[in-house]
Amino acid sequence: MTSELPLLTVERARIRVVELPLLAPFTTSFGTQTVRRAVLVELEGDGAAGIGECAAGIEPAYSSETAAGAVEVLREYILPAVLGKPAADPRGQARRWAWVRGHNMAKAAAEMALLDQAGHAAGISLKAMLGGVKDRIECGVSIGIQASLGATLETVEGFLEQGYRRIKLKCKPGYDVTLARAVRERFPETPVMLDANSAYTLQDVAALRALDEFGLMMIEQPLAHDDLLDHAALQGQIRTPICLDESIESLTDLRAAIALRSGQILNLKAGRVGGLLPSIDLQATAAAAGWPVWCGGMLETGIGRAANLAVASLPGFTLPGDTSASDRYFERDVITEPFRLASDGTMAVPQGPGLGVDVDRERLEQITVHQENVGRS
């Protein structure tokens, strides 16, 4: 954090679960999502309010965390650790739950709400609090597995017409080389990458090596979510740079991956690594090792999307991220001004206090499926 922030007390805390329907089903190697269920944390104190979004999904498929698990850990451990206890700044508050092992996405949701609250109290943007340097972010788009190759090519074309600067295609064993070839033939110059979400093993090295001829920017998380050794072995056998996503849940993981040469690029998601403040350290460590970093996405509502743009404005983030516009996923977002892509494929980083977005309270109530106050509130 670059800015000095005032003393801040969390006087009231609330957990809210929302369900936002997706415009189209989103299919990865681990399953199909048709709705984004998101856990939100709402905080108030010292006359300022903050909101944060949890990245955990319904099922423990992308990571071991779930929305229901996050609700419990937030209610029982994370929020009680900070309620009614002053601290110098959000970093000081986050230290109060450092004893909780794991549950990075639940911690990140609470931290996002604290930063939003602190930003509102002090009149400082999240971007400024984190030390962001860019006003606009170059955006890519992540495209799920479609019913046919033809449908995929049409989808790619539509997003390129909107201005997106790089295309990420979800792949899986048996749906990789044909996919890469078809997209390359139709869009020879477009920056393209694949994301396997851990669907391969070292047995599949032949198919993964066959991808080398397509000049892909990278292949994301080909192997198991916790296997840095096999990723290192694979990187030794393929030219396409490996980008790690699921494998990196902490600075320790990243340092090990760098030392082992398990990849060359980092997809950084604040939720996965326990928050925006830890993300500052990861992007600096990656940059020092010569690893480009980009900001991943978790089908966030406008709340989490605002945080993604703020963190993507840090200096280590040098590649276009999965920071797409609200209308990539949702008919109607939960913020009054949805995030829009400019025709040059960039999006503005919010400049207002905190997250810099206004929540559409009517929309929020409409999509709420559960809410509870925490502690004495």
Which residues are marked as active site? 170, 269
Residue count (the chain): 377
- Per CB under 6 A, does 322 bind ligand NPQ? yes
- Per CB under 6 A, does 20 bind ligand NPQ? no
Contact 270, 307 (CB under 8 A): yes
Nearest-CB residue to Mg ion?
245
Contact 126, 2 (CB under 8 A): no
# chain residues binding ligand NPQ, by CB under 6 A: 14
Q: How far is CA 170 from CA 160, 162, 193, 206, 221, in A?
A: 17, 20, 9, 19, 11
Nearer to ligand NPQ, 81 or 160 (CB): 160
| Residue 360 interacting partner from ligand NPQ, Mg ion, none (CB closer than 5 to 8 Å by kind) | none
SS3 percent helix, strand, coil of the chain, rounded to 5, is 35, 25, 40
CB of 141 to ligand NPQ, least distance (A): 9
Among 29, 104, 125, 142, binds ligand NPQ (CB under 6 A): 142
- Per CB under 6 A, does 326 bind ligand NPQ? no
Binding mask 180-199 for ligand NPQ (x = CB under 6 A): ---------------x-x--
Cβ count within 10 A of residue 11: 14
Token look-up 């269920």 returns 37
For residues 34 and 331, what is the distance between their CA atoms, to the nearest angstrom? 13
CA-only gyration radius of the chain, Å: 20
Binding mask 37-76 for ligand NPQ (x = CB under 6 A): --------------------x----x--------------
What is the end-to-end Cα distance of the chain in Å, rounded? 29
Enumerate residues 238-257 that contact ligand NPQ by CB under 6 A: 245
Cβ count within 10 A of residue 274: 25
Token pair in block for residue 338: 């949805």
Among 270, 298, 341, 364, binds ligand NPQ (CB under 6 A): 298
For residues 369 and 320, what is the distance between their CA atoms, to the nearest angstrom? 34
Among 245, 249, 253, 360, binds Mg ion (CB under 5 A): 245
Contact 195, 171 (CB under 8 A): yes
Nearer to ligand NPQ, 120 or 269 (CB): 269
- Per CB under 6 A, does 299 bind ligand NPQ? yes
Residue 24 corresponds to which amino acid? A
Where along the sequence are the contacts to ligand NPQ (CB under 6 A)? 26, 28, 33, 57, 62, 142, 195, 197, 245, 296-299, 322
Where along the sequence are the contacts to Mg ion (CB under 5 A)? 195, 220, 245
